Structure 1
Amino acid sequence: MVCAKCEKKLSKVVVPDKWKEGANNTTEGGGRKIGENKLLSRKNRFQPYGTSAKCTVCKSTLHQEGKYCHACAYKKGICAMCGRQVLDTTAYKQSMQ
């Protein structure tokens, strides 16, 4: 659960670059260099085990930016990124596992 304000901050979906419009996979226009080592040249590589973000309630690792995991955010009815109240869960019958 994410509030409308934090929805803009969500990471973008991975899709292939458009052909020759500032794409990283072309050699024209300052894109890809010929003969470069892609493992050494990438600065912001995705590191699935390198994230140190943890949920403040259950201490599980988060797969996106934020303070709470999706399970804890839904149980409390708050935004997973900022912690604002999004949903009233007083009438819900939930188990605390």
Structure 2
Amino acid sequence: MVCGKCESKLAKIITPDTWKDGARSTTGGGGRKLNENKALSGKKARYTPYATNFHKCKVCKQSLHQAGAHYCQSCAYKLGICALCGKKILDTSNYKQSSV
């Protein structure tokens, strides 16, 4: 769960959704080149998940999948808070949620 303010902070995916109008993951005009090898043409360093220092969830101490987050998705859903900033989004007092 992410609040509307933190939604712009989410990372974009590599492959753009060019067939959808208003897709969030589009990288702009131009489109893609034909017969392009993405591994050779990339100017940025490759993504190395072991080199990045990910934080741990403040509640369950699980390693997080996104660099800016403070809570994992399951804890954020259970508590009804934003996973990035911790702001209360949803009142979960009347919900019957399992702990699994």
1:21-70 Cα deviation digits (max 9, x unpaired): xxxx6xxxxxx5xxxxx8xx744x32223333111111111111210000
Check conservation: 2:54, 2:65, Cα contact below 8 A: no
Which ranges in structure 1 are unaligned for 5 or more consecutive residues? 20-24, 26-31, 33-37
Distance (Å, rounded) in 2 between the aligned partners of 1:54 and 1:93: 26
Question: Structure 1 counterpart of 2:50, which letter?
Answer: Y
1:77 aligns with 2:80: yes
TM-score, normalising length: structure 2: 0.66
Of the three residues 51, 54, 74, the one matched with 1:52 is 54
Tell me the C-alpha RMSD between the 2 structures. 2.7
Bigger mean CA offset, 74-83 vs 46-55: 46-55
- Partner residue of 2:91? 88
Tell which structure's C-alpha radius of gyration is larger.
1
TM-score, normalising length: structure 1: 0.68
Give the count of matched residue pairs.
81
1:73-96 Cα deviation digits (max 9, x unpaired): 000000000000111101001233
